[in-house]
Structure 1
Amino acid sequence: MQIMEHYQQLIKVFPNQALHTPFDITISDLSAVFYCTDRNTKHILAKLQEKGWVRWRAGRGRGNYSQMTLLKELDDAIIEEVKLKVEHDSIEEAISFLQRYQTNQNVHQQFINWLFTAYQDNRETKDQLRFPSYRPVPILDPLFVNRRTENHIMYYVYSRLVYYDRVNQMYRGDVAHTWEANHSSTEWIFYLRKGIIFHNGKEMTVGDVVYSLSRHGKTTSPYHWMTNFIHNVQVINTRTIKVVCNHSVPFLPQILSTLGASIVPSTISLNPRLPIGTGPFQITENTKDKLSLQAYTAYFDKRPFLDKVTVYFFSNLYDNRSSDAIKDQTQLNFFAYPYVKKDEAHYHQKTKIDEGSKLLTFNRKKGPLATDDLLRKAIVTALDQEKMIQELGGNRFVPGSRLIRNLEQKRLSHNLEAAKKLVLESNYAGEVLSLIGYTGAGNELDGTWIQERLHEIGVNVKTTFFPYQNLYDQLLESTDLLLGEQLAAEDELLTYLQAFLGNHSFMQLHLSIKDKHDIEKAIEKATSISILLDFLQTKEEYLCRENNHVHLYRLKQFSIYPPYAENVSMNALGWLDFSEIWYKN
């Protein structure tokens, strides 16, 4: 048992004992506290005194009372030990040590503040980005996941045939250096770069590209929808492929820029925790406490300035909790959220309204919400987004109303009395509506708020939240309400395609059969991107009027960084661009 565990046990047995106030106790009493012999108790006492955590005054004579004085709060003692672990062992050892003890939120935040501001490792010579986050990312393969943090990381691990240049708002070659299409956009030829090397040292082949474009055949993949556009992929030669489409697909570059088109090796089984790609960063470590990405020196394109990115995971930071207890910051490497109060002399900050939104969808295929227009309207009328943002806090920022933020409409008026009246006029007969979501992203708090709000208008809701990896094992198409994040892409058309077609998209899962058919037919017949985009915008506006779903709010995204960081920018996911940031000093 470590000395910290002994002190923790001591505090547990004497929870009301004031610091710096002596109290009587015998060695035998302490032996019972520590579950050890009197001899070992004396060794423990010596160590506790050496740490400066207790003062001991021995009583004279065998069995006489001695006096002990507690000198340190348990949380303060833990912080002391954690700092020593960092300086003498490693940050990883320190985090592991911290996670073993039940501490309040401020302990984690004090450690994070010290680690990312005051602590400087003189052995460190690389340009690193280090920041905290609240949850590990054990699955980093687009075959299994389509979620904000994972997507951001995966964009740096994998390359695709093409990518979207968000600065110039155009598609450029990635693994393919150029491409061309026939007049009807049914056949596309992509010309591959030479000498592209996977993170395991193997050269990428045309076979890897063909395999990567066909690996999402299973309906469980978030990107299975892509396969509906591609009839086959043909090898022309060692550096050229032809993609034959099922119909005219003028937007194929958009599809092939998604993570669903990530290039992976075909000759090995991919480890989703430590995947292999050809992107600018490779993953060197991925545990429950830490994720490390190293700049890939054999990357075929522009090498990132950063040498290393490290994310440390602290579950206490869930839902972007902040604290007034953390003050006097000096220098900061990076925070994705304002967990701590900022000293503007030592920080710069960029903020951005999230391009995506928190989405609540209504089942239009089956159940009470499918045909009861008044019940859906009642729910939308009851869900006061401004009130939700105000009461739940965090980085919930502004109400949403559309998939694309610059198409936001006038906000609805919300009135509980009007909502109650709509419920009475509807066909609702007291059924319990099921609401399902995944754990994380603030969904549990949001779900509870929705449940309580709807209870006020006489609508009963049961909420259930599953780990993301188990969510799509559930019968989601039979669930009345689905709650989760609706992510945005850099390209507007791609945002619509992923929302209306994506296999993990809640909006797609709850579309009525007719609406889904109309959308698929319009996509199939589209002869140009502009025509298709106009149709999808009009269709979405109609779905909003029909109360198919409600965009609850958009987040306020943060990049908090030191003054020596340059070219700081944020992508559509609200994350810092790891490839573009650089340090002056």
Structure 2
Amino acid sequence: MDIEDHYLTLHKQYELKPDKAWFPVSMDELSVIFDCTRRNTQFLVQKLKEHGYIDWKSGLGRGNTSQLVLLRDKEELILEKARRRAQQGRIREAFECLQASSDESLHTQFHSWLGDQFGMHKQRSDEDVLRFPFYRPVPDLDPLTVVRRTEAHMIRQLFDTLVEYDPQQQTLKPGLAHHWECDETKSRWTFYLRKGVMFHHGKRLTAEDVRFTFERIRNWSAGDFLAQSVLQVEMKSTYSVCFQLAEPNALFAHFIATERFSIIPNDLEQIAARHDFARLPVGTGPFQMTENNESILVLEANERYFNGRPFLDRIEMWVWPNYEEQLRSRERSSDQTQLLYFEALSKGDSDRTLNQYELGSTLLTFNLSKDGVVQDRRLREAIHLALDRKQMIRELQGKRAVTSSGFDPGWNDPAYGSDLDEAKALLRASTYAGEVLQLYTYEYFSNEEDVRWIRQECGKLGVKVEINVLPILELSQAGVIVQADMIFVGEVLGGQPSIALIEMYRSPNGYIRNHLDAATLAKVDGRIRDALETADPEQRMQILSGIEAELKRQCSVLFMYHSVQTVGHEKSLHGIEMNAWGKIDYKEIWIK
């Protein structure tokens, strides 16, 4: 415990005593307060006096009481301590410090000060440091287990894949492999690696790392259809590797451009023995992780990056749970360089924000893989018609932008809407008899708002709903998914929509897949096989659109709304472009 903590303990005990006023106290009394021996108490009193926290007059002689005066203002001390903890990167401890005070003005002062710490900073001989807040820590950055968009984005900063997808050109481009080819059957693919690529810990990249990466995915992801389709990974040389597939796949190179196929070093076991690889991963990417805990995440530029060193030297993500609310309520100076991710940003200065509709949709799935009342299509359609999406957006606002009738925000079916009277008629004709439907979602404030609204509207219809909110990793397990009658989630299609859709429909832990009945599942798998065999993107999307149409026809999936992605930034930040995840590629950011 720091000396200031002892002072705060003392101040709390005598909070009714005015500051800078003498009052009587005994050494025995202080020993009880500090919970230590009389000797240690005397030592603490001396230290508190030396540091200017108190003044002390010993009561000499029998019956003479000692005198104590408190010199430091408690609120001022708490604020100083919180600021110091934040500057040390101990953000969580800083917020814990504030809990010692109920003074709202103190919290406001700290939030204002903390907001001023974000943006661009010059440190140590012109080192460019970009600092921004985020609402939660990001502890799991193993490409093998990525399930959330922020993690996927961070993995892109830390790792590389064999090839990359260019969304502007809508084509593949070289990554760790400078060239690739396949045979006529599309079942044998060969990749030729760049020479001289280094992992962050100094190991040189070879074909052995590629083989290790894919074998690890196969061993740990038994249901991964793509990894399991790889019959053999053959090292043709130190810098070339060949994949033999079980079946033709014209999209194989596109699939392995996604984050979960990021190449990791084959000495992972030795790395994991020194530290948690998921929290402090080692890749070949433009940035390397140097710190990642409950308070702060720190990325530093990879000086040896094969594709050009980043312009920034260091990036710090400070964990601030409610930063959106706090920063939206305060004015920022015009010369303050910011990079802010908002899930729900009020429409403001267009010069400082980038906005785009998220490619994907929130949706409600019905579990048709188990017996139960949701097997009745009339009940599913009744719920569909009872949910007025426009009303949902008006009432809940935030990131909810426009109503959805499919994954593509560029097309909306005006007939895909609500009709409460028809909904009630369908419910009366159904077999529903008052059963309580179990509605699941994962922990996130907007998800929890959404499912409460859905429960409310179902209640108006006459359908009972019980909400279950789980951690996302738990809800990403097939054994949990099949327990739900309904699941509310959001699906983001990323930079390669067709690839994301195929993975979503084929994933063994996918929400939609685990809620399909056997007959529909067989149809979906058949259409996915057709999609994998075509290299024509338009034909492929037509096939996938057919799957979406079938799910809508059955009312097994209800589309709800499209979200808006927003990034706030200051004008002097250049290289700012929003990707499909609603994030910014840090490698390209620079300041004028």
Q: What corresponds to 1:143 in structure 2? A: 144
Indicate if the aligned counterparts of 2:122 and 2:129 stay in contact, CA closer than 8 A. no
1:397 to 362, 385, 401: 401
2:587 to 554, 575, 579: 579
Deviation at 1:443, TM superposition (A): 2.4
Deviation at 1:413, TM superposition (A): 3.0
Deviation at 1:107, TM superposition (A): 6.5
- 2:578 pairs with 1:570: yes
Deviation at 1:189, TM superposition (A): 1.9
1:51-450 correspondence to structure 2 within 5 Å: 74=75, 78-85=78-85, 90-93=87-90, 95-102=92-99, 109-116=111-118, 123=124, 125-218=126-219, 220=221, 224-269=224-269, 271-317=277-323, 320-322=324-326, 325-329=329-333, 331-337=336-342, 348-368=352-372, 370-410=374-414, 412-440=416-444, 442-450=446-454
The CA distance in 1 between the partners of 2:398 and 2:585, in whole Å, is 23
Indicate if the aligned counterparts of 1:289 and 1:313 stay in contact, CA closer than 8 A. yes
Give the 3-state SS of the residue equivalent to 2:559 in structure 1. Answer: strand
Q: Deviations over 1:120-146 (max 9, x none)?
A: 665473222211111111111122222
- 2:524 pairs with 1:528: no
Paired residue type of 1:537: S
Q: Is the deviation greater in 347-356 or in 250-259?
A: 347-356
Indicate if the aligned counterparts of 1:108 and 1:316 stay in contact, CA closer than 8 A. no
Change (3 A) 1:96 1:303: same
Indicate if the aligned counterparts of 1:451 and 1:461 stay in contact, CA closer than 8 A. yes
The CA distance in 1 between the partners of 2:508 and 2:78, in whole Å, is 46
The CA distance in 2 between the partners of 1:214 and 1:382, in whole Å, is 48
Q: What corresponds to 1:510 in structure 2? A: 515
The CA distance in 2 between the partners of 1:10 and 1:467, in whole Å, is 40
Q: Deviations over 1:291-326 (max 9, x none)?
A: 111221222223222222211112234xx4456652
Indicate if the aligned counterparts of 2:437 and 2:486 stay in contact, CA closer than 8 A. yes
Change (3 A) 1:85 1:179: closer
Change (3 A) 1:414 1:516: same
Give the 3-state SS of the residue equivalent to 1:475 in structure 2. Answer: helix
Q: Deviations over 1:175-207 (max 9, x none)?
A: 111112222212222222212211111111212
Q: Is the deviation greater in 358-367 or in 141-150?
A: 358-367
Paired residue type of 1:538: G
- TM-score relative to the length of structure 2: 0.83
Q: Deviations over 1:414-443 (max 9, x none)?
A: 344543333222111222222222223632
The CA distance in 2 between the partners of 1:544 and 1:107, in whole Å, is 51
1:32-51 correspondence to structure 2 within 5 Å: none
5+ residue gaps, structure 2: 57-62
Give the 3-state SS of the residue equivalent to 2:417 in structure 1. Answer: coil
Change (3 A) 1:389 1:239: same
- 2:546 pairs with 1:542: no
The CA distance in 2 between the partners of 1:204 and 1:434, in whole Å, is 49
Change (3 A) 1:457 1:175: same
Paired residue type of 2:493: A
The CA distance in 2 between the partners of 1:335 and 1:137, in whole Å, is 16
Indicate if the aligned counterparts of 1:567 and 1:581 stay in contact, CA closer than 8 A. yes
Change (3 A) 1:100 1:258: same
Identical-pair percentage:
28
Q: CA RMSD in A?
A: 3.9
Indicate if the aligned counterparts of 1:112 and 1:132 stay in contact, CA closer than 8 A. no
Q: What corresponds to 1:500 in structure 2? A: 505
Deviation at 1:174, TM superposition (A): 0.8
Deviation at 1:327, TM superposition (A): 2.9
Q: Deviations over 1:48-107 (max 9, x none)?
A: 9x78xx999xxxx989999999977x4x76434333455xxx331455333344387857
Change (3 A) 1:432 1:43: farther
Indicate if the aligned counterparts of 1:403 and 1:496 stay in contact, CA closer than 8 A. no
5+ residue gaps, structure 1: none
Paired residue type of 1:555: S
Change (3 A) 1:444 1:122: same
Deviation at 1:162, TM superposition (A): 0.9
Indicate if the aligned counterparts of 1:141 and 1:275 stay in contact, CA closer than 8 A. yes
Change (3 A) 1:77 1:550: farther
Give the 3-state SS of the residue equivalent to 1:288 in structure 2. Answer: coil
- TM-score relative to the length of structure 1: 0.84
